[in-house]
Structure 1
Amino acid sequence: MSEKAPDQTSIAPIDTSHIRNLVYTVRGIQVMLDSDLARLYQVETRILNRNVARNARRFPEDFRFQLTEDEFEILKSQIGISSDTVHGGRRYLPYVYTEQGISMLSGVLRSDVAIEVSIGIMRAFVEMRHFIASNAHLFERIERMELKQLVSQKETDEKFEQVFDFIHAHTESSQKIFFNGQIYDAFSLLASLIQKATKDIILIDGYVDIGTLNLLAKKQANVSVEIHTFNNTRLTAADVATFNSQYPTLTINHTNAFHDRFLILDHQEAYHIGASLKDAGKKCFAITLLQDEALLQELLTHL
């Protein structure tokens, strides 16, 4: 004999919208969990499965099957539940029931509640099929749009990869030459070098003026500047004070020891510059990164 659920004096109306939220897709089939069904039928999960096991011939594989570990993990991640919630304290993997299996349950449980619940579940499945059928065209359009988006994303990714490959193949050169008239290009490169400094800038340039300070004003805030220049520099004390009032801190050192121009960033990078910063781009000149660290240290030592 099958175990019966306790008699019910009243049966609450079955909410089909709630039931629809308990229907999941496993192996491409719409199913319901044994624990969810047990709550709807108002019986314990073990009793539900025990009665089904006693009537195994009524529940072939396409009516009821047990989840694998992988299926169980995927289902948990999809519906955001813990193992305890699904297992209900059990030590075995949950069973799921297809629509045909659910329709068979009412005959196995043999209670008024089981009959009413099975009717409600069947109506929920019918409503879902009607919804899918009536919106099939819309789903097809959404699917086509998603496919187009995937194709577009793939093309975009390929374009980005081409850009990155180009950048990788054209890394920043250690030297750059400018020809007569390339004033803006030269100014832009020097400004970008100055902006790289995070602590200090040392400029060795015999001929500096307001134009030099305009370039140095591109530096980051709180980066100090030290200029080594000839005694007859065109910069006045007022020019230095005006610069320091807005872009501190600038110091001027006078020396005749250097012929060439050098730009040193954070005591780590040194560039040899073929023209004074104020004249950059007016005639052909070059900017070269000093690759030998020993040369940088020797230059700093002479300062």
Structure 2
Amino acid sequence: MTDKLVGIPDEIVLNKIYMIRNQKVMFDFDLAALYSVETRALKQAVKRNIVRFPDDFMFQLSKEEWLEVITICDNLPQNAKYSPSSPFAFTEYGVVMLSSVLSSERAIKVNIEIIRIFTKIRKILLDNKDALIKVEQFEKQMIKQDQKIELLFTYLNKFIDKEDTPREQIGFKVSHGAKH
């Protein structure tokens, strides 16, 4: 079996993954384009099988969320921007489930490629998790060091302030006008 089933470059799929509601998702119109089906047909297939798509698999964006996406993203297709309904957002689980709803050979092959990319993303995040933890620990240590240095400078400033004021002489006091 070849590594690329339908030859979609990873970058194309990666550019179609968005963070919505703290989840990595793909929009119905992007998936429809990758599967070579109409968005309307994809949505109809999902609606006919809605029990297969709980909220952690797929959700519809609110109008406010969709307007925010349109404002932020400049690579959206023009026809999607002016659609009367907001898009469905599919999580990784939803993409997997789509292969059972869209049973074309292309849909299955595209799904396999998308899932491989989601898996790569997860692996990269896990590989970097240890590094992120070490960076956080280092930052905490630096904050503690900064606090200690700040305290040291506070003490030093107190000594400097005391040096500016004349000290009272201690020991035997000799009056300069007396003759012995």
Alignment of 1:224-303 (within 5 A): none
AA partner of residue 26 (structure 2):
M
Among residues 99, 118, 123, which one is paired with 1:106 in the alignment? 99
Partner of 1:74: 68
Quote the sequence identity (%).
36
AA partner of residue 56 (structure 2):
D
Seen in structure 2, the aligned counterparts of structure 1 residues 139 and 54 have a Cα distance that, compared at 3 Å, is: same
Please state if 1:34 is matched with 2:63.
no
Partner of 1:12: 6
Partner of 1:235: none
State whether residues 6 and 109 of structure 2, in contact with CA within 8 Å, keep that contact through their aligned partners in structure 1: no
Partner of 1:247: none
Partner of 2:88: 95
Q: Which runs of 5+ in 2 are unaligned?
A: 143-180
Query: Which gives a bigger RCO, structure 1 or 2 (Cα 8 Å, sep 6+)?
Result: 2
Higher helix share: 2
TM-score w.r.t. the length of structure 1 is 0.41
AA partner of residue 48 (structure 2):
R
Partner of 1:128: 121
State whether residues 14 and 116 of structure 1, in contact with CA within 8 Å, keep that contact through their aligned partners in structure 2: no
Aligned length in residues: 139
CA distance in 1, matches of 2:77, 2:7: 29
Partner of 1:54: 48
Please state if 1:137 is matched with 2:169.
no
AA partner of residue 126 (structure 2):
A
The structure number with the bigger radius of gyration is 1
Q: For residue 135 of structure 1, give the secondary structure of its aligned residue in structure 2.
A: helix
TM-score w.r.t. the length of structure 2 is 0.67
Seen in structure 2, the aligned counterparts of structure 1 residues 130 and 68 have a Cα distance that, compared at 3 Å, is: same
State whether residues 64 and 97 of structure 1, in contact with CA within 8 Å, keep that contact through their aligned partners in structure 2: yes
Higher strand share: 1
Q: Which runs of 5+ in 1 are unaligned?
A: 1-10, 149-303
Seen in structure 2, the aligned counterparts of structure 1 residues 24 and 51 have a Cα distance that, compared at 3 Å, is: same
What RMSD in Å do the two structures reach over aligned CA positions? Answer: 2.8
Among residues 52, 57, 66, which one is paired with 1:63 in the alignment? 57
Alignment of 1:161-200 (within 5 A): none
